[in-house]
Structure 1
Amino acid sequence: MSSLPPQPLPLVPSTEEVVPAMQRIIDQYNAVRAQILQTDPSDATFENIMLPLAQVENAIQGEEAMIDMLQYGSPSLDTQEAFNVAQKLQIEARASWNADAAFFRLLQAARERQPESDALDAESQHLLDRELLGYKQAGHGTLNPTELEEYLRRGTEIAELERQFQQNLARENDGVWFTVEELDGVPREDLAKWKDDKENGSSEAQMKKFVPFANGGTIAVLTNAHRPETRKTMFLADNLKLKENKPLFEEIIRRRAKQAQFLKYPTHADFRIQGRMVKTTEWLRGFLSQLKGPLCSRGRAEVEVMQRRRVEDLRARGPDITEEGFPPWDKRYYERLVQQDFAVDQLKISEFFPLEQTATKMLGIFASLLNLRFDPVPTENTKDVIWHDSVRVFSVWDSTKDDPGGTKNSTTADNFIGYLYFDLLWRENKYRGNQSVNIQCGYLRPDGTRQYPATILMCSFPTPTPTSCALLKHHQVVTLFHEMGHGIHDLLARTKYVRFHGYRLPPDFGEMPSMMLENWCWMKDTLQGLSCHYTTLNESYLVEWRKQHPSEPDSPKEIPAELVDTLIEHRHFNRGLYYLYILSISLFDLQIHSLSTEQEINDLNVQKLWYDIREEIESMDFSECRDGFAFGTFSHLTAGYDVCYYAYLCCAAIAHDVFRSVFAPNPYDEDTWDKYRRAILQRGGSKEDLLQMLADFLGRAPNMNALVEGLAS
């Protein structure tokens, strides 16, 4: 029995290797396509048309995904520039493949052949249908050769605009200078992270600090700064960043609309919805409309609670102050004060969730729920296969398959599942959000053996302070659990083709498994099991904590039960506003992609629409923000989530339904988890009818009103 994984860690290409590697990938595709094109349409089958292409796609996916990852994770701008060159080669190659009418005809012929097509297994049939849909959405069967060439050229131009948008976002590094006095209320731990300019102040209070928008800077000020003018200044400055993305975004939206019409679709929304689970824009509009009434009502009530607290606070500062509208820069601050009134102290809670320890303990929860084991890969074995020295790697094993001795600690090839990477902290030039990134899909090789997956939790949690480690607020604990859920989904999938591996499925279903798992972050035993007061990790942390809390006893190692009880009791506070924010973006996403006439395209005012919708839906006063460019900071709509932001609401509804009806009676039942693993997680996107897959698991159709019902419970 070997103690080593049967598959080595994927290699990270050097800067010099990125472009040649992409060219090699393209050459492999070109070679197999040239071979396939020698087939006469009358002889076309899945086995001689689609299968050879799928096998090459399987074989090269890992190398291609690793190159793609470097745009998010590499700390080197030279490497990111090499990726940009490689990506342009890739876009040009895909455009040439999409333009290949002869290949489209072979796919059609293979699809039409009977009875061979009917004899295919469901995943292979799904793969063929998906490939055909891609060619049809590229214009085949609708456009003549000249039109097709023009359509694909425009698509390449849109992709370049999207790349520029994302690059601007990743490299944004601006912020605001404040005096320490103006930052009154912001925790010392945050102040210690920010660079200062002592020459600008004659006293410590007048010394200036540079607060970056990124790395948690904006959030720290909006949540904690006592002075209303400081919060307002920070919000409005953050709101004005990335002005350069406004014309890019508007041009992308206009071009998408024209592309859809060129392809004879009424709107870009109608074009994109074909590849989603829900299939029609009519269903989507009905779903969002169904949510709008009850969520807006709840949101208004939540704003009223914060407004009362705000007026009370402002009048204590100046009795003549009267404020009617509720500005968005005050939401986080008064949300915190109301929570404190509930005895929910998020800062105190965060002390019990140091990032590294919390993440590692989360692995223990997934190990228990899904019969897995996570073994740290020694750092000496990862020197040449990671992209930053803060990255940690785990080998993942299935502990349900006993070894010959009857233990559940076997490390044979049969038990190996794949690799999980942690890349959790913010750094310069890194992707600013939180995501799970696949760098190797699993698939079935031609010889029947299996390629194992590798996936990254790539997050941007704020970096540690000089006297402490990185700590997570409860909402960040939920975020980490969510992204880890994506990673586990990716690891456990067992599909034939990389096209459907893991969460490579329509996002309006793909977010569901992770959202369902968020429920465990509101369970008392889960939170206590994850907790560990950071001062117990390092003596220097404890010394510093004692200096800041001279009259308090040392904190217990585990989070006190009363803190958890209070947090859970008020778990629905401001959840209406949380979902209303998602609803705002979903409606914005749908509306900008529903332009159906030349006049609508020309009259589009993205800036006005963004703030109109947010003000209407979220019940806050955005009147002083309307010259901003917040939509220019929103990566989803230029990174594959166009006409898809609603996925978070759709999946939240399904997730609530699955949890309440299947897991809530016994959240740790091993048989239930085994059924879920096999019926949902292992199948990835291999099933064409995802709603039916879900109905088979539930024993009925999903309840799409479960989100609203869950908030009322």
Structure 2
Amino acid sequence: MSSQKLQGPPQAPPQAPPRFSDTPSTVLSKARDLIERSRKAKDELVAHVPLEGATFANVLLPLANDENSLAVDFEILKFYQSVSTDPELRDASGEAEKLFNEFVLETETREDLFNLVKWVFQKSNVEELDLESRRLLERKYKDYYRNGLGLPESQRSRFNEIKKRLNQLRIDYKRNINSEHGGIWLTLQELDGVPADFISSLQSRKTDGNHLGKVWLSFKSSDVSMALKYAKTEETRKNIFIANENKCSQNACILKEAVVLRDEAARLLGYSNHASLRIEEKMAKNSKTVEIFLDDLWSKFTSSGHRELAEQKQVKKADSESRGEPFNGFHLWDHSFYSRLIRQKELSIDQEKIAEYFPLQTTVQGMLGIFERLFGLVFREMVVDKGSDIVWHEDVLVFNVWDDDDLGNGFVGYLYMDLFSRDGKYPNPSNWNLQPGFIRQGNTRYYPSTALLCQFPKPSPAKPSLLRHHDVVMIFHELGHGIHDLVAKTTYSTFHGTKSTEDFAEAPSQMLENWCWLPSQLKSLSRHYSTLSAESCSLGKEEPQSKPSEQIPDEMITGLIQSRNWKRALYHLHRIFLSVFDMKIHAPRTHQEIMDLDISSKYNSLRKAIRLTDGPETLGQGDGWGHGEANIPHWMGTYDAGFYSYLWSEVYALDIFYTAFRSDPLNAKEGRRYRHLVLEKGDSQDGMKTLTDFLGREPSKESFFKELGLT
């Protein structure tokens, strides 16, 4: 895969790419060495800087430099647990993350460091600091308070116990998700209706002498999604849905313990609950604002949700009667199947036909071309020798990224793409910052590295991996995070790129999703897989009368555009449900309330109330039938009390798009202005200032409501 546009003279990057040559033992030894080096540096700082002599330059700057150094090495040590095929290396990486998090807690609860930072903070009005440095000082001061240093000793001891336990719970939860490789055996009859190509890929994955004549459907999201959309037999869909909901069931207890401990810790600090603590520094500022926002959306979508559900029920009823089967109601496992049928009939959309125009390789290449034109970037794919340690797996692609001629041909950073499915890999499409960018000592820049992870099936000799349109949108979104990481130009690593508050960090990527709904961009990204190679041209030779066009036909594009917000109320209600559930478990009125809460039952009952659709509880299984909340990494990542951010930041994303790009999506002048005023800022200033600087006004919800048909 290579870039569409290569400008400027070939040159070696000024910074070598990171290396991925670690073993389980080196991961842990490196982790311990890094921690000891950092601890020693902090001890020396405290020993040599008297309280009265503390300044930003001799306290905050050394702490920031140490944090920069740790981030360069530790992010990769923690990354192995999400990508390595070696379970021992994954376990060692998880242990390294635990050690690192414990050390961070140790650092953030050191009273001697806090006293120095507090002294600088209290006299900071006499120091002239740039805005980012002042933000760093304020952030560090508040972080110490949020880590219990304002508490009396008796409470501080309990607070530290909680933080250590939460660290372990996060690691266990993530390990369980990464190590999950369950699935379900199904006969070909049970998979009636599922595309033959997909079934063929299942047949090649796993065999078992005890299940002759069956294929193995894994619980990877892409596999489950395909089966629920296409399997004609309701019993098959039900079995898949319930089994998938109950994977990683051990995480249900982990999440329950975590939310109880979070609530206790927040109350020790004087907050009313964990959500109040977490949202205070975000754009929303308080949980009440979030609750009003979600309630408003919930009320706006409910009536149209009921209409969509009634239509799907009618279609299912007619389908059941045509099969001579009784109609036994409409359930969660029915939505994907009947929504697809209705969409295909009313909009003439065949996602499998559309996917033929979006081979993974050429589509991603086209996306890079769009980023080049908009943001003044150049992507050069590196040649990687087999067995090279500049990648962590032989399937990984790596690019060095440059500014184009107009921006001076400067080096930007490294972009990795790990696109194909394998066991032990993080299951969800995602972007990972491997090394942040920052200004190091000597006033030179350290350049970032960022990685895109996906779980697509590998191509066959005759047919590449094909992307359904929602896959195209997803990759564009995650690459948007990668671009944010690459072009950010902050002084300190703690503010780099996507390290913005969650309710702003999603906006840049959500804004870029709009390109996947523009006819001109869909056309430019598309190329029918049969035109890519002699082998894949066999389709056209066998059926010359139906040989497809090279680019996606206009009528397919029209159908896609019409489908964007077509009958999407139930989809948005599902997003609202996840956000409301997140707030319910993180904003209890009393601590006893969260201790008494059965969160699996709450998850299922709340989903039924907001999503409007029955689950197995109507079949006599009760609200505790499944543990879907145990499979969502957000709760135990950085999105605790933050899932609303996806909806919240979409408001800003659409405002940016409508204002600057809707009329001219490849406007390079606006793209570069957006790069400089938004992406490069990272979290170095308040997100609201970033938005108003770019928009020239306060952000508005008008475009959001207009796009979703809520005006």
Which TM bucket (shorter chain)? over 0.9
Structure 1 residue 536: Cα displacement: 2.2
CA distance in 2, matches of 1:367, 1:376: 14
- Tell me if 1:131 matches 2:140: yes
Q: Which of 161, 180, 183 lines up with 1:172 in the alignment?
A: 180
**Pairing 1:282–2:288 present:** yes
Tell whether the 8 Å contact from 1:268 to 1:593 is kept in structure 2 after alignment. Answer: yes
Kept in 1, the 8 Å contact 2:97–2:171? The answer is no
Is residue 353 of structure 1 aligned with residue 351 of structure 2? no
Partners of 1:465 and 1:321 lie apart in 2 by 41
Determine whether 1:189 maps to 2:159. no
Which 5+ residue runs of structure 1 have no aligned equivalent?
404-409
Judge conservation of contact 1:483–1:514 (CA < 8 Å) in 2. Answer: yes
AA in 1 matched with 2:303: S
Residues 484-495 of structure 1 correspond to what in structure 2 (within 5 A)? 484-495=479-490
Letter in 2 for 1:24: D
Distance of aligned partners of 1:183 and 1:17 in 2 relative to their CA distance in 1, 3 Å threshold: same
Q: Distance in 1 between matches of 2:690 and 2:525?
A: 33
Residue equivalent to 2:5 = none
1:148-181: CA deviation from partner (whole Å, max 9, x where unpaired): 1221121111111121111111111111111111
Measured after TM superposition, the shift of residue 493 of structure 1 is: 0.5
How far does the alpha carbon of each residue in 1:573-605 deviate from its partner, in whole angstroms, 9 at most, with x for none?
A: 243222221110100000111124243123211
2:215 is paired with a residue whose SS is strand
1:407 alignment partner in structure 2: none
Alignment of 1:604 onto 2:601: no
Q: Kindly tell me: are residues 215 and 634 of structure 1, through their superposed partners in 2, closer, same or farther at Cα, counting changes over 3 Å?
A: closer
Give yes or no for contact 1:189–1:465 (8 Å, CA) kept in 2.
Answer: no
CA distance in 1, matches of 2:114, 2:701: 38
Contact 1:361 1:530 in 2 (8 A): yes
The worse-fitting range, judged by mean Cα deviation, of 48-57 and 528-537 is: 528-537
Normalising by structure 1, what TM-score?
0.93
8 A contact 2:202–2:217 mirrored in 1:
yes
The residue number in structure 1 matching 2:573 is 580
Residue 220 of structure 2 corresponds to residue 214 of structure 1: yes
2:414 is aligned with 1:377: no
Relative distance call for 1:43 and 1:614 in structure 2 (3 A) is same
For 2:703 and 2:286, how far apart are their aligned partners in 1?
21
Instruction: Check the 8 A contact 1:349/1:474 in 2, yes or no.
Output: yes
Whole-Å separation in 2 of the counterparts to 1:637 and 1:599: 20
8 A Cα contact 1:28 1:56, kept in partner: no
Displacement of 1:402 after TM fit?
A: 6.4
1:550 Cα offset (Å): 5.5
1:531-568: per-residue Cα shift (whole Å, max 9, x none)? 1112222333343x469x86862222211111111111
2:107 is aligned with 1:102: no
1:706 Cα shift?
3.7
Identify the residue that residue 3 of structure 2 maps to in structure 1. none
Q: How does 1:472-551 map to 2 (within 5 A)?
A: 472-543=467-538, 545=539
CA distance in 2, matches of 1:96, 1:146: 17
Q: Describe the shift of the 1:588–1:283 C-alpha distance in structure 2 as closer, same or farther (beyond 3 A).
A: same
- Percent sequence identity is 34
Residue 651 in structure 1 maps to residue 649 in structure 2: yes
CA distance in 1, matches of 2:584, 2:201: 40
- Asked if the contact 1:302–1:573 (Cα under 8 Å) also holds between the matched residues in 2, the reply is no
Aligned residue type for 1:355: L
Which amino acid in structure 1 is aligned with residue 608 of structure 2?
Answer: E
The residue identity in structure 1 corresponding to 2:54 is A
Counterpart CA distance in 2 for 1:135 and 1:198 is 55
Equivalent of residue 240 in structure 1, options 227, 246, 264: 246
Is 1:692 the counterpart of 2:689? The answer is yes
**Residues of 2 paired with 1:215 and 1:591: CA distance?**
26
Q: What residue identity is the alignment partner of 1:580?
A: L
The answer on whether the counterparts of 1:336 and 1:346 sit within 8 Å (CA) in structure 2 is no
Instruction: Give distance in 1, aligned partners of 2:577 and 2:356.
Output: 33
Aligned counterpart for 1:676 among listed residues 674, 677, 690: 674
**TM-aligned CA distance change 1:95 to 1:59, over 3 Å:** closer
Task: Identify which range, 154-163 or 550-559, moves more after superposition.
Answer: 550-559
1:226 and 2:219 aligned: no
Deviations 1:426-457 (A, max 9, x none): 21011011111111111112212111111111
Deviations 1:507-534 (A, max 9, x none): 1000000001111000111111111112
Query: What SS is found at the alignment partner of 2:402?
Result: strand
Instruction: Determine the C-alpha separation between the residues in 2 that align with 1:215 and 1:464.
Output: 18
Contact 2:478 2:509 in 1 (8 A): yes
Counterpart of 1:295 in structure 2 is 301
Letter in 2 for 1:35: E
The alignment status of 1:58 with 2:64, answered yes or no, reads no
Which residue among 139, 145, 154 is the counterpart of 2:153? 145
Which residue is equivalent to 1:90? 100
Preserved CA contact (<8 Å) 2:370 2:666: no
CA distance in structure 2 between the partners assigned to 1:564 and 1:680 by the alignment:
31
Match in the other structure for 1:590? 583
Task: State the one-letter code of the partner of 1:266.
Answer: S
Is 1:122–2:127 an aligned residue pair?
no
Please give the per-residue CA displacement for 1:54-109, whole angstroms capped at 9, x wherever unaligned. 01212232111111211211221111111122123213322321221111111110
Q: Structure 1 residues 402 and 322, CA, compared in 2 at 3 Å: closer, same or farther?
A: closer
Write the letter of the residue equivalent to 1:100: R
CA RMSD of aligned residues (A): 2.1
Q: 1:632 aligns with which of 627, 630, 633?
A: 630
> How far 1:31 moved relative to its partner?
2.1
In 2, are the aligned partners of 1:583 and 1:646 still within 8 Å (CA)?
yes
Q: Is the 8 A contact 2:79 2:93 kept in 1?
A: no
SS of 2:395's equivalent? coil
Deviation at 1:33, TM superposition (A): 0.9
- Distance verdict in 2 for CA 1:703–1:402, change over 3 Å: closer
Letter in 1 for 2:17: L
Residue aligning to 2:335: 331
Q: Is the 8 A contact 2:651 2:704 kept in 1?
A: yes
Letter in 1 for 2:44: Q
Q: How does 1:435-450 map to 2 (within 5 A)?
A: 435-450=430-445
Secondary structure at 1:384 match in 2 = coil
SS for the counterpart of 1:532 is coil
Question: What letter corresponds to residue 500 of structure 1 in structure 2?
Answer: F
Q: Which amino acid aligns with 1:654?
A: Y
- The change in CA–CA distance for 1:269 and 1:693 in structure 2 (over 3 A counts) is same
Q: Partners in 1 of 2:514 and 2:200 — Cα distance?
A: 34
Indicate conservation of the 8 Å contact 2:81/2:93, yes or no: yes
Q: 1:321 aligns with which of 326, 329, 334?
A: 326
Q: How far off is 1:240 after superposition? A: 2.2
Write the distance in 2 (CA, Å) between the matches of 1:243 and 1:115. 52
Q: CA deviation at 1:347?
A: 0.7
Whole-Å separation in 1 of the counterparts to 2:101 and 2:668: 45
User: Is contact 1:73–1:431 with CA below 8 Å preserved after alignment?
Assistant: yes
Distance in structure 2 (CA, Å) of the matches to 1:469 and 1:306 = 34
SS in 1 for 2:385: helix
Secondary structure of the corresponding residue to residue 401 of structure 1: helix
Residue segments in structure 2 that go unaligned for 5+ positions in a row: 1-8
Q: How far off its partner does 1:248 sit?
A: 1.2
CA offsets per residue over residues 157-207 of structure 1, 9 Å max, x none? 111112111111111111111111111111111111224669678xxxx82
Count of residue correspondences: 692
Determine the C-alpha separation between the residues in 2 that align with 1:650 and 1:671.
Answer: 27
Which residue of structure 1 aligns with residue 4 of structure 2? none
Aligned in 2, Cα 1:186/1:465: closer, same or farther, shift over 3 Å? farther
Say yes or no: does 1:269 pair with 2:275: yes
